[in-house]
Amino acid sequence: MTKSGHTLAAAVDSTVGEANPNLVPEVHSIHGNVAEATVIKNGNLFFLSEPDGTLPLAAGHGFGLYYHDCRFLNGYELKICGKKPEVLVRNADRGFMATLGLSNPNVNLNGKPLPKHSVEIRWERIASAEDLALVDTLLLQNLTSESISFSLEFQFQTAFEDIFAIRGLFQGKHGVRHPPVWENSVLSFRYDGADEIEREIAIDFSPVPDEMLRNIASYRVELAPRGSRQVRVSLNVSTSEPRKRAARRPAGIRLEESLERAGGWREQATKVHTNSLLLSRVMDRSLSDLRMLRCTLDGGASYFAAGVPWFVALFGRDSIITALQTLAYDLSIAEHTIRLLAKYQGKELNPWREEEPGKILHELRVGEMANLGEIPHTPYYGTVDATPLWLVLVGKHATWSGETRLFEELRPQIDAALNWIEQYGNADGDGYVKYDCKIEKGLANQGWKDSGDGIVNADGSLAEPPIALVEVQGYVYQAKIEMAALFRRVGEEKRAAALEEQAEHLRERFDRDFWVDDGYYALALQQGNRQAAVLSSNAGHALWSGIAQPERAGKIAERLLSDEMFNGWGVRTLTSAALRYNPLGYHLGTVWPHDNSLIAAGFKRYGLEQEALKIMSGLIEAAVHFQSYRLPELFGGFAQQDYGIPVSYPVACQPQAWSAGAIPYLLTAVLGLEGNGFESKLRIVRPMLPENVNEVEVHGLRVGQGSVDLRFTRSGDHVAAKVQQLKGKMEVILQL
């Protein structure tokens, strides 16, 4: 994503023009593939497992039970008579729970054979945010007409590793891991952290196991013909931090309670129904993932964590863009995100954290290494785009809500952010916001393509800092336009006019300095304001922000949808004609759904409807090939004809917030939904629908103090919009 703590400045080789060749720079030590993982998450607790619901006891994988940047459990195996069961089915579509169907292989107990598929194991797993518990309920069913017996063994492993150590980025101080202890039917693992925080996982069995060894619990199971038996295993996480220790509940968690607690975001959101089974499944998966990725911080403020497993944290850029993508669905999380980021806004000059007054954070971590100060993520401010994007979110939220309440309340923080753009972002005074990382544990690149080799020249060399990214200048332009509108609304005409003048001057300089005669905006300006003149997806963000001159839009779209950029499912991060192109390079040729959603929304902004639909249709088609219709963080840039299906990126986050937001955002974009709460108006601008989608209903869309239900129907290439129900004050205007 930049999701961020990705590739570090230290990960770039000292040889000029040579990047670290590691294929997955943000995750150095993971050897396995998490693309097919079963993931459940509730609040700040999440569990990532093999498809069979278990965690390998071997090292070098990313599976586990995580909480607050610590992996509490890194091994969990289930065996029948010493052998792993076979997976029949698995379903984790509800996000906070998973259901697995397993069966036995051919085994024997004490010389007595148990034929294959004699036993069904129905395994229900629920994650509880409130209880900080993972509750496994196993129903063992005899599928035969004879009495059977077998052994059932559970084995566990803990290391209490920090997320940065798991990713192979840094190795910090270690605390004391205590040997496992059995007390009645509870197996406890405890860790005294080097940060003086005690961490514990207590595994509670019901009924009491027949045998309890060091880290193993086993049962001798006897089942009558068609008989059944239930075993419950409750994994309870706790820490010594205030307000983070959860009371242990021996009885486990009822499904009804979990459904109620996990409801939240999606139940409050705008609802979408469509006649397209495919679009419906992708939308349902996306909205469910967004609910799943909702986390809390500082007493309950909500935000979208960037992605599981590597980036379950508050991220400036990612959390902001996901909030922008979902404004039409629920405004509340945008407000929470704005407030949280304002709270952690930079206050001083701190080179270690790259903190500057007014700057919006990049990443906030709360684990052992952060507590010890071994990493700068407390928070870390190494991002050049989060500050203008935060201002854009403030402006867009105000427009949809029809309120200046947040703007007026956070006026000191808004002034500080605007000042950061001019004083620190534009440090050399040439009008462009730039970055130049100078700390060892910071990010070499500080836009959304933040891998060490992500910003390149046409000749394959790395761009030389200071670097002014094409998309960042657009974000600054958009931020000033948004803030000008709000200053004017509260009666500060002079300030509004000044910001508009600055934005227009930036737009003129930008077009002059970034335009490449081949028909696109350069990826960046580098040292000496020389162009990094290579075709990249970043140019499409200039359309999303509105900084691009109208006469440039058609040519940019043509280049981005050419075969060298569009692989059939989406726009690549880098042209296949570039020397650095790599279809599996993190930012050097892969396809990112969020990137494509912004590009397509930019096409729509400039009246390029068919081009926007091409991207949306491509992403929907790609989703078919991923587990449960879930768009991952990114996928390979190989052309559609190469393999016929998208190529998974081995360590991509799944689910990932701004990928989950991509299709919901694109649907509102192609339908042309533009809310203005100040005027109590909803404009529907040139509505379009993807091919094979003939009907879409949108229920409970809120603008200001009103809400509306809409129905869109296709007839040939024409899409008609009809108001079904209107509540409160709102005028709906159709613009064809």
DSSP at 13: -
pTM: 0.92
Who wins on pLDDT, 7 or 84? Answer: 84
CA separation for the pair 665, 323 (Å, rounded) = 10
pLDDT score of 441:
83
pLDDT score of 121:
97
Going by their DSSP bridges, the two strands 314-315 and 45-49 should be labelled as unpaired
Do the Cβ atoms of 686 and 670 come closer than 8 Å? no
pLDDT score of 31:
62
pLDDT in tens, 35-77: 788 999 999 999 999 999 999 999 889 999 999 999 999 999 9
Who's near 657: CB < 8 A, 6+ residues apart? 289, 290, 293, 304, 305, 306, 307, 318, 319, 322
Checking if the pLDDT of 293 tops 60, the result is yes
pLDDT in tens, 320-329: 999 999 999 9
User: Which domains are assigned to the chain?
Assistant: 39-262 (2.70.98.40), 264-670 (1.50.10.10), 681-735 (no CATH)
- 571: tokens are 């726009």
Range 252-274 average pLDDT: 58
Amino acid letter, 269: A
pLDDT score of 35:
73
Residues shown for the chain: 736
Who's near 15: CB < 8 A, 6+ residues apart? none
Strand partners, 216: 155
CA separation for the pair 564, 583 (Å, rounded) = 11
pLDDT score of 172:
79
- 645: tokens are 């299906």
Mean pLDDT estimate for the chain: 91
Proportion of the chain above pLDDT 90, given as a percent: 85
* Torsion sign across C-alpha atoms 55, 58, 311, 352: positive
Amino acid letter, 686: R
CA separation for the pair 131, 650 (Å, rounded) = 32
Q: Which of 380, 377, 352, 355 is nearest to 367 (CA)?
A: 377
SS3 450: coil
pLDDT in tens, 643-690: 999 999 988 888 999 999 999 999 999 999 999 999 999 999 999 999
- 638: tokens are 């190989």
- Which pLDDT band holds residue 260 (cuts at 50, 70, 90)? very low
- Identify the weakest region by mean pLDDT among 394-403, 436-445, 712-721: 436-445
Do the Cβ atoms of 274 and 283 come closer than 8 Å? yes
pLDDT score of 14:
27
Helices 493-514 and 470-489, interaxial angle, to 10°? 160
Do the Cβ atoms of 210 and 220 come closer than 8 Å? yes
Checking if the pLDDT of 601 tops 70, the result is yes
- 70: tokens are 């610590």
pLDDT score of 171:
77
Who's near 122: CB < 8 A, 6+ residues apart? 99, 100, 101, 138, 139, 141
Checking if the pLDDT of 29 tops 80, the result is no
SS3 321: helix
Proportion of the chain above pLDDT 70, given as a percent: 92
Q: Which of 440, 441, 434 is nearest to 455 (CA)?
A: 434
pLDDT score of 32:
63
pLDDT in tens, 152-202: 999 999 999 999 998 877 777 899 999 999 999 999 999 999 999 999 999
Checking if the pLDDT of 245 tops 80, the result is no
Range 699-720 average pLDDT: 95
Range 243-247 average pLDDT: 39
Do the Cβ atoms of 221 and 230 come closer than 8 Å? no
Q: Which of 312, 252, 282 is nearest to 48 (CA)?
A: 312
Checking if the pLDDT of 431 tops 70, the result is yes
Range 22-42 average pLDDT: 66
Helices 316-325 and 593-605, interaxial angle, to 10°? 50
Checking if the pLDDT of 25 tops 80, the result is no
From start to end of 299-404, where are the E strands?
301-304, 314-315, 363-364
CA separation for the pair 82, 86 (Å, rounded) = 13
- Which pLDDT band holds residue 250 (cuts at 50, 70, 90)? very low
CA separation for the pair 481, 494 (Å, rounded) = 14
CA separation for the pair 508, 494 (Å, rounded) = 21
Range 400-425 average pLDDT: 98
pLDDT score of 299:
80
Helices 593-605 and 550-560, interaxial angle, to 10°? 140
Question: Quick one: which H or E segment has residue 659?
Answer: helix 657-660
CA separation for the pair 128, 270 (Å, rounded) = 25
- Identify the weakest region by mean pLDDT among 29-38, 444-453, 537-546: 29-38
Tell the residue number behind the tokens 């093999």, with chain if given. 50
CA separation for the pair 87, 123 (Å, rounded) = 11
- Which pLDDT band holds residue 438 (cuts at 50, 70, 90)? confident
Question: Residue 4: how many CA atoms within 13 Å on its side-chain side?
Answer: 31
- Identify the weakest region by mean pLDDT among 145-149, 263-267, 359-363, 516-520: 263-267
Checking if the pLDDT of 254 tops 60, the result is no
pLDDT in tens, 613-632: 999 999 999 999 998 999 99
pLDDT in tens, 474-525: 999 999 999 999 999 999 999 999 999 999 999 999 999 999 999 999 999 9
How many C-beta atoms lie closer than 10 Å to residue 565's C-beta? 27
CA separation for the pair 682, 7 (Å, rounded) = 42
Who wins on pLDDT, 728 or 12? Answer: 728
Q: Which of 261, 274, 402, 260 is nearest to 331 (CA)?
A: 402
Checking if the pLDDT of 264 tops 70, the result is no
Range 233-260 average pLDDT: 60
Range 591-598 average pLDDT: 98
